[in-house]
Structures are given as structure tokens and as C-alpha cells.
Amino acid sequence: MSFKIHVSGAAEAAVASVVPTLVSDLVASRITDQDPTLWGPAAEAEASKRLGWVQAVSVSRPLVEPILALREQFNDQGVDHIVLAGMGGSSLAPEVITGTLGGHLTVLDSTAPGQVLSALADRLETSVLVVSSKSGSTVETDSQRRAYEAAFTAAGIDPAGRIVIVTDPGSPLEAAANEAGYRVFNADPNVGGRYSALTAFGLVPSGLAGVDIGALLDEADAVLGELAIDDASNPGLILGAALGGTVPLRDKVGLITDGTHIVGFPDWAEQLIAESTGKSGRGLLPVVLNPLAPELESKPSDLQIVRIVDDAHEFHLLPRDRHEGEILVSGSLGAMMLVWEYATVIAGRLIGIDPFDQPDVESAKVATRGLLDNRPEPEAPAFVADGIEVRGTTDLLDGVTTLSGAVEALLARLPEDGYVAIQGYVDRLASPQLESIRDLVAAQAGRPTTFGWGPRFLHSTGQYHKGGPANGVFLQITETAPVDLEIPERPFTFGQLIEAQAGGDARVLAEHGRPVLTLTLTSPDQNIVTLFDAVND
């Protein structure tokens, strides 16, 4: 199995219209040759140092043997619990790889204190922490590393034997890791985080967790030839045209897994698409859906469904099973990842953006640092309903006194072509049911609705929220955490950090003119039922 794609409806029309031009412009071979001029003069400087992923299969091959050797070394010591501290592509790719190919990996991509404490309490004596960060400056991974260093030391375990670093060569993190005696794997510096699935960022944690990473590279290698050829049958050209070439542009992309063996692929594709395309007031908004999502009934005209199936070319006798108007894709995981990377940069060319920068991600980080440094007094809620504190951007809550009224006020600001983004800054291990609120809101809004766990979505759809089309409304759900945890050698705790991340993002969204409703659960266990009732009212 390599990769298959079937298109119909508007996507089929886009392929017929756009692919011949992509072929005549030699787009596929120019991507493979790492031509940085494909996205225009303004993007050339960034693209010139971000196309290394097209050679990831060959560049990453030499990593396989030392990764597997280290895995055997850990196994011989009885150390077999791999924890990954990473954000964005560096955590989402290993999560999909291990979930699909049988590895056992604990992904720590949160600053919720309860979630960090749960990870620290889980088999610490047999744990290895993999810290993945291009520079090491990412506040989440830096904080998680500090917490594990302290926990290992307190347990009488030498951190030098239990911490593995994945970073760019010459980064500050590499220097600090070498000084501390940690094992370091260097990643290709010419690959951005969201395109790094088949580099050290994807392979080191996955290989240590038990995945046959050589076979994963083989899967990707099997489709490389097709992707490099300037031909109408090229699956990267077809998928890229189907995503970015519809007229009018269907700029919401619904991602559904339906019978595929691949676990969690939409979450990885979400960050790839959103962070690559959502800028300059344009972009594609990925919307992770389940097969019974309300959007499949309401069928918004600007929503293009992509269904990840077992066999995209399988014949279905009944018309209802053919999913007319949708894009159907199937394939091995390695092939899927590489095809989607090609397709995303091709869609970026069609939309007219630079798929390699992320100009609006830093703004939320700056706002977070400002809140941590200055520690302003918390903003008083507009009102409190059944233990849930309610806050909103200017004028949003005028005359509103109930939770259901607050949600209605937010949805009243939703444009006809807009979307709803739900952001859950809570401990998702303690409150996994919160994600189910997405379908309730989507049904009430009648528009595409996303759900993201904070702060991990800041490294994914966060770029689109601020840099993409200004037609989103934002429901932010935070919590008063029942526990907290100090961050060693930092003047703030994990609880204060995630609070500042939520507040900083809300502030930047407001500065961009986006309506934000923030609901703070003061007793999460009790408040979630109240919240669901309010949304369902």
C-alpha cells in the first residue's frame, strides 16, 4: 500500500483546471529540487532554508541504527517508558506514528499542572524523557524538562542517563545538553517543525518507543518517485489542487478518519495545514470531524471534506457510500505524511502565501511573557454563573446575565462565512469529555467548528486564528486548577504559565478584532455538566 486518492465534485473540477498548469510549471520537480522561488520573492529567503524535508528519507536513514541501539541499551536497563516533551509537529507526528505503528509513548504537550503531575507520577523509575525543540526556547518543553530533571534527581536517578535531546545543531539547547551530559540527536536545521515528521523529531521518540522506524521510512520512500514527477497522476499535485484550487475557494477542510488503520492523522494534518497556510488574511482552516459531525448534515458550501479511508479506490455499489463531493485518500502512514507535505506547499502556492513562515505565532508568546513578567491583577468576570466565571471582549456581554446567553452572544457575532474555535485550556486527562462540546456548538452555530487543547493548539491552529481570515469567533474554556506545580528555577508555576498562555492568546485575538468569550471553570468536575447544559439550552 502506498497512496491513493479519489476526487469528485468541486475538488474534481479543481484538479482538472489546476493540475495541467502545475505540470507545465514543473512544480513537482522544482519542489523536489528545493527551488525556493515557487512561492514568490517575499517567501524566497524563508523557503531557501525550509525545504530539507523533501530529502528527509535519505537524510534520516543514518539515524535509524543509533536510535535502535539506544533503545536496546534502555531495554537492557529495564527502562522502557518513553515520555515526549514537545509541542506542535514535534509531538503530533510521534503521537500518530506510535499510535498507528504500535509504539508505547506518553506525549506531554501541556502546561496544565495536573497533566504534568500525572506524567511525573507514571513509572518515573523506568522513564526516559525525550525533549524535542529546535532551539530549546519553547517555554513548554523547557518547563517540562526542568520538572523532570528535578523529579529524577529527587528519586536518586541521574538525569544524564534518562534525558534525550532532539534539537538543531548549534542550538542553545544542544550546548546546554552537552554540558549536562545528555544524549543529543541533531535534526536537519533546514526543516521546519511542522514538516519534521520523518526527521529526528519524529523518529527518535517513535523509535525509542518501539516503532520500526526503518519501515516507516520505506513507506515514504515508496511514494517519492511519484511525487517528483511532473505528471497529472502525481498524488501531491492532485491533493494540493483539490485543497487549494476550488473556485470559489472552499477554505474550510473537514478531516475525517473512516475505516483507516492510521490513528490520529487529522490532528497532525491540522497543524501542518493551519500553520502553513493561515496568514495574510488567507488560508485553509482544517476542522477535525467525526463521521457523525453536524457539519456533514448542514453541508456548509465552503467546507471541503477529506475522508481518510482504507481504500480510496474501492468501488461502492450504493451512491450514499461513494461520498460524492468529497476527497478520499488512503495509504501507508509514511506515504500519507509525505504526500500531505507536498500537497500543503502546493496549496500554499495556489492560495498565494508563504507556507514556511508563521508570522503570528510569536505574538501570543510575547503576550504570555508580558503577563508572566508583570503579573497584573486578574480581570474581574462580567458575572459568575453556577461557579463558572464569564469574561468577554469589549461589548460582547452587554446585557448578558446567563451562560447560555453568553454563548448565544458569541455565536451572534459569527459571520456567514465564519467558524467557531473552541479552546480548552484544561487538564485533558482529567476532563477528556470536554472535547464533546464541539459537536453541540457546531450544531447550534451551523458553521464549521474546531476544538483545540491549550496550549498545544497555539503551535497548530493558533497561527490561522490570528493570521487567517478575520471571520472566527472564539470560545475559551479555562480552569482554576485544583493542583499546581513549581517550575524549578523559574519565578512562575505551571498553573500561572497556562493561565498566562490563555490570557495572552485572548489578548492578541482581541487586538486582531476577534470576539472572545472566556469561561473559567472554578470547580472543573462540577462545572462541565453546567457548561454542557448551557450550550445545549
Average pLDDT on 162-180 reads 97
- Per DSSP (E only), the strands in 159-202 are 163-167, 183-186
- Per DSSP (E only), the strands in 258-409 are 285-289, 303-308, 327-331, 383-385, 388-392
Residue 1 pLDDT class (50, 70, 90 cuts)? low
Cell representation of residue 72: 536496546
Return d(Cα 147, Cα 142) in angstroms, integer: 9
Listed in sequence order, the residues at least 6 apart from 373 whose beta carbon sits closer than 8 Å to its beta carbon are none
Q: Which residue has the higher pLDDT, 367 or 445?
A: 445
Average pLDDT on 381-394 reads 96
Q: What is the mean pLDDT of the chain?
A: 96
Q: Tell me, what's the pLDDT at 26?
A: 98
228 and 26 Cβ atoms separated by less than 8 Å: no
Listed in sequence order, the residues at least 6 apart from 57 whose beta carbon sits closer than 8 Å to its beta carbon are 198, 217, 220, 221, 224, 338
Report CA dihedral (437, 438, 442, 448) to the nearest 10 degrees.
170
Listed in sequence order, the residues at least 6 apart from 375 whose beta carbon sits closer than 8 Å to its beta carbon are none
Return d(Cα 295, Cα 449) in angstroms, integer: 8
535 and 388 Cβ atoms separated by less than 8 Å: no
Residue 321: pLDDT above 90? Answer: no
Closest by CA to 426, choosing from 458, 404, 455, 465, is 455
Average pLDDT on 349-363 reads 92
Query: What is the 8-class DSSP label of residue 185?
Result: E
Taking CA atoms, 335 is separated from 118, 299, 331, in Å, by 34, 29, 6
Residue 327 pLDDT class (50, 70, 90 cuts)? very high
Return d(Cα 403, Cα 421) in angstroms, integer: 17
- Per DSSP (E only), the strands in 309-465 are 327-331, 383-385, 388-392, 419-425, 449-453
Return d(Cα 358, Cα 423) in angstroms, integer: 20
Residue 170 pLDDT class (50, 70, 90 cuts)? very high
Residue 146 pLDDT class (50, 70, 90 cuts)? very high
Judge if pTM exceeds 0.95: yes
Residue 64 pLDDT class (50, 70, 90 cuts)? very high
Residue 261: pLDDT above 90? Answer: yes
Q: Which of 33-37, 333-337, 358-362, 479-483 has the lowest mean pLDDT?
A: 358-362
Return d(Cα 237, Cα 531) in angstroms, integer: 44
Q: Tell me, what's the pLDDT at 318?
A: 78
Residue 342: pLDDT above 80? Answer: yes
Beta-bridged to residue 520, according to DSSP, are: 389, 478
Q: Which of 60-74, 352-366, 391-405 has the lowest mean pLDDT?
A: 352-366
Cell representation of residue 414: 459569527
